Homo-oligomer: A and B are copies of this chain.
Amino acid sequence: MTQPDTLRGIGESATLARIFPRLPVSSHALLGPGDDSAVMAAPDGRFVVTTDMMIHGPDFRLAWSSSHDLGWKAAASNLADVAAMGATPTALVVAIAAPADSPVSLLEGISDGLRDACLALAPGCGVVGGDLSVSDTLTIAVTAFGDLDGRAPVLRSGARVGDVVAVAGVLGRAAAGLKLLFEHAVVDGRPDATAAAALRASHPTLVAAQLAPRPPIGLGVLASRAGATAMLDLSDGLALDARRLAFASGAAVELSSAAVGSREALDGGEDHSLLATFPPDAELPEGFRIIGVVVDGSGVLVDGQPYSERGGWDPYEQWSGARG
């Protein structure tokens, strides 16, 4: 059996030559990869920018995620932060650091995942630059850009008392998928690929929500056009992110447990769904559903009662290497 090509074996230039053709092209790029910097069009006169890093261990495990999943999730989570401003994603830059003995197919798979996520979630968005490096810890850092097309950015601070609170996308599925993986795909204390594959077959929706989420990226712009007063990406769970929106807006968010659906939907993170507030008379874009209302006060209420579960996820306090 021949050994697969490794990064060390073929070197940086040959690796780049293998992954470049797989990357999505940005229709907003004036100059793509290959020079010291890329040049992007910003016809609006502004651009939005966000960055997010994924680390092997705390953020993903190679026993559970395919390389395609990794590229997909790295793109999707950043695209959601652009969408949450009411902007259209235009481009990504991607820095990847991998162990030198990794197979080249790892980077090819990540590239394919980046491409397929852009094509599916944000057509026209592509990779305009990047960096390859070597690290003992597989690391993917994505920076994403978006265009506001003349609209004001939708901040988390704009909610007003009386606004409806609405969500687009799923709630709690990514956390449910992660819970399944920790319960059923850890063998002798280590993430197990065979068990994860079995789980992916038995619970495809929940596992995919965790490993390769599909946030409703296009609904960010539609929410902005419909007059959304505040919006954010649900990366740390509805309860915690709603509290952030409430705090930034100087008001309280009151949620209906019946509309939210479950405790997992309240607390589970990583769905990358969009939480937005709209004036009471706004016509909500298809895909948003009302789950509450903005009221006087502070924090989050559920069915009228203050909801003070912490929720969310703190990488420094909560991650232990042994779980990775």
Contacts and interface: CB of A to CB of B under 8 A. Distances in A.
Contact of A43 (B45, B54, B80, B134): B45
Interface residues of A, number: 75
A253 B35 CA distance: 18
Contacts of A135: 55, 57-58, 137, 139
A81 B12 contact: no
A51 B153 contact: no
B95 A141 contact: yes
Given A15-B316, A31-B153, A315-B134, A141 B42 contact: no
Contact of A38 (B39, B48, B157): B48
A37 interface: yes
Interface string A1-41: 00000011011110100000000000000110001111111
A85 interface: yes
Contact of A46 (B11, B30, B132): B30
A271 to B, nearest CB: 14
Contacts of A37: 48-50, 81-82, 84-85, 87, 144, 146, 153
A8 B317 contact: yes
Interface stretch (A123-131, A262-270, A286-294): A123-131
B314 A133 contact: no
A53 interface: yes
B81 A316 contact: no
A80 B35 CA distance: 12
A19 to B, nearest CB: 13
A283 interface: no
Given A11-B317, A93-B49, A136-B57, A35 B155 contact: yes
A137 to B, nearest CB: 4
Given A100-B319, A136-B137, A153-B31, A45 B48 contact: no
A145 interface: yes
A59 interface: yes
Among A43, A44, A50, which residue has the most Cβ atoms of chain B within 10 A?
A50
Contacts of A315: 12, 100, 132-134
Contacts of A143: 49, 51, 93, 143
